[in-house]
Amino acid sequence: MKKLRWIGLVVGIWGLLWTTPTLAIDISIVPVSQTVDVGDPVSVDVVVSGLEAGILDEIVSSFDLNITYAAAIVMATGVTYGTDLGPVSLQSTPDLTTPGLVANLIEVSLELDDDLAAQQGDSVTLLTINFTALAVGISPVRIDFNFPQEVVGRNALVLNLNVNNGQIIVGTQDVPEPGTVVLLGSGVLGLFGYGWWRRKYAV
């Protein structure tokens, strides 16, 4: 009976030591939040990070995802794929025709896993999306996978990822309120009036 307990303990410890912390890898919109004015261009990156966290030695070899946003607040104007999947890769043409959706974001590296590992560090920029701010408001920018968690790592295994979405806050340029202008104007008039009164009654 003691022997079974020891075997169970050893197997349990071995399992804890050799289980990869799959939840340590994140896919994020970077920056998470930014504020721009109406009419301004703005861009976000889609980044996978934590590939070398702890005992991990993971890579990104392909991905298939969509990005959603609030079409009344911002408009997607273009996509640029990153270079971290190597010089030899297949990239799809992004679809920007549906308002609120950047679809068909697919890239597959033709590099060997070990070659990708030598090129990639702890984080990989998958792509950059450019927007134009249309109206005042907040647009969430969300990562939407075409299949559950469709970012592939070593040995063609799908990575288990924490998803960190972002937002674009569109404001207006600060315009002085009418009350502020009136207050400032009355203060200036008061100073001129005081100066005139002082000169008139100066002895």
Quick: pLDDT tens for 153-165: 999 999 989 999 9
Residue 89 belongs to domain spanning:
21-173
Residue 108 located in a structural domain:
yes
pLDDT at position 148 is 61
Residue 58 located in a structural domain:
yes
Residue 6 located in a structural domain:
no
Residue 9 located in a structural domain:
no
Residue 131 located in a structural domain:
yes
pLDDT at position 128 is 98
pLDDT at position 19 is 43
Residues in the chain: 203
pLDDT at position 140 is 97
Taking residue 49's Cβ as centre, other Cβ atoms within 10 Å add up to 20
SS3 139: strand
Burial 125-154 (b: 16+ CB within 10 A, else e): bbbbbebbbbeeeebebebebeeeeebbbb
Number of structural domains found in the chain: 1
For the chain, which residues score pLDDT lower than 70? 1-23, 146-149, 173-179, 202-203
Pairing relationship of beta strands 166-171 and 33-37 according to DSSP bridges: parallel
Residue 188 located in a structural domain:
no
pLDDT at position 41 is 97
pLDDT at position 175 is 56
Residue 15 located in a structural domain:
no
pLDDT at position 20 is 43
Question: What are 114-144's pLDDT values in tens digits?
Answer: 999 999 999 999 999 999 999 999 999 999 9
pLDDT at position 188 is 77
Residue 71 located in a structural domain:
yes
User: HSE-up of 137 (CA within 13 Å, CB side)?
Assistant: 14
| CATH number, position 117 | 2.60.40.680
